């Protein structure tokens, strides 16, 4: 197990003779040279920066086989050579020899500005000369070339680290190189953290290393359960090839958009150096296991699952904060704090009944309110085996939309095909409502010339159909909360703009086909919330809307009481 030496090392401290074996391609960096210089130059005062890992295998004395990172290390070598050529008091402590090119070390050691005028002997020399030219051009653009060189040299010696990944001399280098370069790079934060615990210089004996390795596999396997994964994060699993890395990111409090890709790895390196773990580094791994067990405990507790799952889904509070809170207060206090966070998530600056689909700022508020309504409807059902499926919610094809329960607009219906489809969809419902009363309208629709229909004819028929479905002329409710439900986005705009009855048929078919439909949306179209004596199957009328809002208010009452609000 103990075949790795892993540490961070300042670029200025890299020393030795590096052999680049023949199984690797030659030097090929072009635009990357300028990018590296810009990145180093742009490091703010007081901030450190780390380059990608340098993977080596020690051969003898101070000689290494360079397995991965040769493009980066060669470029740094060229930068040092250039700065030294400015007759400044600089030095560097390593050499590079490309095994495939017999004279490569001599060529690199003697590189100077004069080399820019030399005809290259091979493709590798060509790219090296071009990289050197790029470095020259970069320095020539600086206001003070010497000052820029001094600043760059200082950063390389004091701020710029590489991850020094040294494998055991018995390790098969070609196998490791292949694994590093087949498109599935193992040296992510997670794999580097794993290397910390399995490294030969971490004071953890082989027995514990085996135990850590087994526990690692168990945690990784359990995090591949999407029900657990999407309970604790909104990140798509494809962004985490090694899922345990999410647990490490949480522990390291890594923020979204952090420009330091290996922030989590550095956090673990620092933890290894703290007094807390200096005499028994196994404690750090035990802390990892404890954090995972806490997440599992939350997942298994129905109340915590639904409340925390909702807070994570709406980005109300980071999981890191919840984990820290849970370690400092009692469980009952922790649950009470969740109620306050949830209440804060729906503490809008306007009355709920004033929210409107027409207002783009209101849409996310309505969605949040309806998501909480759905989550609480599952949780308060009483059956502890029922769970809101955060995995399905976060993996909905096309995403979620606010759906008008009963539409009354022709938005998006701008093609002959869509006009005809919309009219055909509503003929059946018109017959179901009152065939005799709607006979003339049905005949007009069925007898239309589908090829010659124009926008004026469609709009006239559209208004007649809408009128036939309305119990009253008051349409102020159309964009209000009482006419909104969560549903996966319809690709079909004809269905988007359909009336309640048509949508009901579609949703019942989706339900039979096994498509995921949020519980409250299903209940809406089954008229679950409306008393039977006031139920009219084909309409979404005033009684339906009032019952819907009453049910929402009752379900969200614990949080509305905290806010002293009502729906």
| Sequence ranges of the domains in the chain | 4-185, 206-350
Answer positive or negative: Cα dihedral of 153, 158, 160, 163: positive
With a cut of 90, say whether residue 201 has pLDDT above it: no
pLDDT in tens, 22-40: 888 889 999 999 999 999 9
**Higher model confidence: residue 297 or residue 198?**
297
329 Cβ contact list (under 8 Å, min separation 6): 337
pLDDT in tens, 263-322: 898 888 888 777 565 556 788 899 999 999 999 999 999 999 999 999 999 999 999 999
pLDDT of 398 reads 60
pLDDT of 470 reads 62
**Higher model confidence: residue 173 or residue 456?**
456
Q: How far is CA 372 from the centre of its chain?
A: 22
For the packed helices 206-223 and 189-198, what is the interaxial angle rounded to 10 degrees?
160
pLDDT in tens, 48-78: 788 888 999 999 889 999 998 999 999 999 9
Section 509-513 average pLDDT:
86
Answer positive or negative: Cα dihedral of 511, 517, 520, 525: negative
Q: Name beta bridge partners: 505.
A: none
Q: How confident is the model at residue 472 (pLDDT cuts 50, 70, 90)?
A: very low
pLDDT in tens, 158-189: 999 998 988 877 767 776 666 666 544 556 88
Contact 170/57 with Cβ under 8 angstroms?
no
**Higher model confidence: residue 324 or residue 171?**
324
pLDDT in tens, 478-487: 889 999 999 8
Section 345-360 average pLDDT:
94
**Higher model confidence: residue 408 or residue 391?**
391
H-helix segments, 236-382: 244-251, 263-273, 282-300, 302-313, 319-326, 331-345, 363-379
Q: How confident is the model at residue 1 (pLDDT cuts 50, 70, 90)?
A: very low
Q: Which of 318, 472, 474, 484 is nearest to 402 (CA)?
A: 484
């Amino acid at each position: 197990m103990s075949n790795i030496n892993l540490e961070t090392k300042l670029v200025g401290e890299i020393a030795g003779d590096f052999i680049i074996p023949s199984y690797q391609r030659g030097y090929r960096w072009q635009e990357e040279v300028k990018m590296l210089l810009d990145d180093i130059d742009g490091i703010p005062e007081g901030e450190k920066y780390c380059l990608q890992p340098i993977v080596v295998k020690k051969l003898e004395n101070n000689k290494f086989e360079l397995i991965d990172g040769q493009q980066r290390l060669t470029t740094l070598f060229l930068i040092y050579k250039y700065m030294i050529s400015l007759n400044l008091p600089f030095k560097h402590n390593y050499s590079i020899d490309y095994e495939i090119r017999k004279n490569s070390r001599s060529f690199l050691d003697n590189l100077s500005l004069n080399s820019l005028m030399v005809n290259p002997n091979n493709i590798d020399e060509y790219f090296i000369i071009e990289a050197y030219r790029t470095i020259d051009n970069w320095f020539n653009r600086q206001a003070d070339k010497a000052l820029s060189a001094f600043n760059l040299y200082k950063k390389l010696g004091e701020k710029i680290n590489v991850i020094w990944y040294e494998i055991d001399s018995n390790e098969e280098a070609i196998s490791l190189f292949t694994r590093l370069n087949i498109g599935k790079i193992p040296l992510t934060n997670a794999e580097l953290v794993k290397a910390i615990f399995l490294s030969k210089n971490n004071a953890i004996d082989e027995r514990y290393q085996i135990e850590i390795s087994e526990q690692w596999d168990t945690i990784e396997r359990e995090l591949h359960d999407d029900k657990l994964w999407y309970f604790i994060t909104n990140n798509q699993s494809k962004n985490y090839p090694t899922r345990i890395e999410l647990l490490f990111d949480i522990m390291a409090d890594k923020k979204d958009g952090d420009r330091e890709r290996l922030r989590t790895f550095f956090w673990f390196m620092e933890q290894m150096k703290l007094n807390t773990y200096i005499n028994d580094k196994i404690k750090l791994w035990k802390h990892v296991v404890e954090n995972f067990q806490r997440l599992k405990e939350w997942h298994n507790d129905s109340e915590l699952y639904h409340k925390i799952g909702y807070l994570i889904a709406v980005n109300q509070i980071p999981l890191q904060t919840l984990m820290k809170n849970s370690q400092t207060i009692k469980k009952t206090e922790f649950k009470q704090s969740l109620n306050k966070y949830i209440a804060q998530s729906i503490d809008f600056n306007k009355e709920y009944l004033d929210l409107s689909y027409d207002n783009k700022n209101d849409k996310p508020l309505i969605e949040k309110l309806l998501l909480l309504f759905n989550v609480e409807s599952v949780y308060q059902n009483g059956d502890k085996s029922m769970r809101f499926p955060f995995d399905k919610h976060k993996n909905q094809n096309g995403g979620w939309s606010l759906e008008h329960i009963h539409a009354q607009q022709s938005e998006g219906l701008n093609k002959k095909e869509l006009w005809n489809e919309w009219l055909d969809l509503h003929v059946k419902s018109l017959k179901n409502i009152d065939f005799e009363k709607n006979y003339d309208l049905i005949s007009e629709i069925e007898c239309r010339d589908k090829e010659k229909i124009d926008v004026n004819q469609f709009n006239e028929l559209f208004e007649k159909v809408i009128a036939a479905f309305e119990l009253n002329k008051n349409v102020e409710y159309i964009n209000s909360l009482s006419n909104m439900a969560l549903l996966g986005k319809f690709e079909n705009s004809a269905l988007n703009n359909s009336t309640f009855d048509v949508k009901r048929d579609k949703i019942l078919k989706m339900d039979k086909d096994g498509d995921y439909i949020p519980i409250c949306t299903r209940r809406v179209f089954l008229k679950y919330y409306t008393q039977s004596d006031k139920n009219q199957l084909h309409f979404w009328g005033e009684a339906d809307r009032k019952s819907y809002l009453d049910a929402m208010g009752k379900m969200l009452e614990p949080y509305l009481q905290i806010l002293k609000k009502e729906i």
